[in-house]
Amino acid sequence: MMKTYSPDQLLNILQEHTELLLTKAIADWQLIPHSRFALKPSANEWSANECLQHLNSYGRYYLPAIQKAIDKATTGSTENFRSGWLGNYFTKMMMPGENGTLATKMKTPKDHAPTKILESHQVIVEFIDQLEILLKLLRKARQHDLNKVKVAISIAPFIKLKLGDVFMFLIAHLIRHGQQADRALSQSGVTTKPWPPVSFSQV
């Protein structure tokens, strides 16, 4: 049985998680020197810089795709949002496990894998800009049916998911790699604030 959510409660929770990430990026990450933010914990692990590059690459696809889907849709809310089986699968796959560990390890698509270290300030600025756009889209979504608005996914544009599912797996993905960035920073000697428990409320 697929999960059912109150649209307002779900969007409130998603907005809170996005705002937490935005605060962390502005108040914490922007103050960290490039030498620390770009430091890899090991040869096979991403630096905080690379974690955000990865997230930015997805944002460049999904934010315009969500905006386009919302712009094409007619207004109209719904009493409940019911997650689709594929959307629910993607969200569970993206969710970090206990203590921020990666519950499900995945191979990063080549198009979204960082290939070099970029200047950290620019990477963080783009990340902040994308989060601000995401917050605007979450507010716009309150005027629409999260079940009926559909968004094409990046790995297979011929597959479209419900808007509610896209928001959930996208924000779960942001949290997953945001926590990974903090772990990389802690291993380079940077103390970061703890993350609150991650969950999307269910009716």
| Structure confidence at residue 203 (pLDDT) | 44
pLDDT by residue, tens only, the chain of 203 residues: 578 899 999 999 999 999 999 999 999 999 999 999 999 999 999 999 999 999 999 999 999 999 999 999 888 777 799 999 999 999 988 888 665 555 566 667 677 678 899 999 999 999 999 999 999 999 999 999 999 999 999 888 889 999 999 999 999 999 999 999 999 999 888 888 888 878 786 54
Q: pTM score, two decimals?
A: 0.91
DSSP per-residue codes, the chain: ---EE-HHHHHHHHHHHHHHHHHHHHHTGGGS-HHHHT--SSTTS--HHHHHHHHHHHHHHHHHHHHHHHHHSPP---S-EE--HHHHHHHHHHS--GGG--SS--PPPGGGS--SPPPHHHHHHHHHHHHHHHHHHHHHGGGS-TTT-EEE-SS-TT-EEEHHHHHHHHHHHHHHHHHHHHHHHHHTT---PPPPP------
Domains and CATH numbers, the chain: 4-74+83-187 (1.20.120)
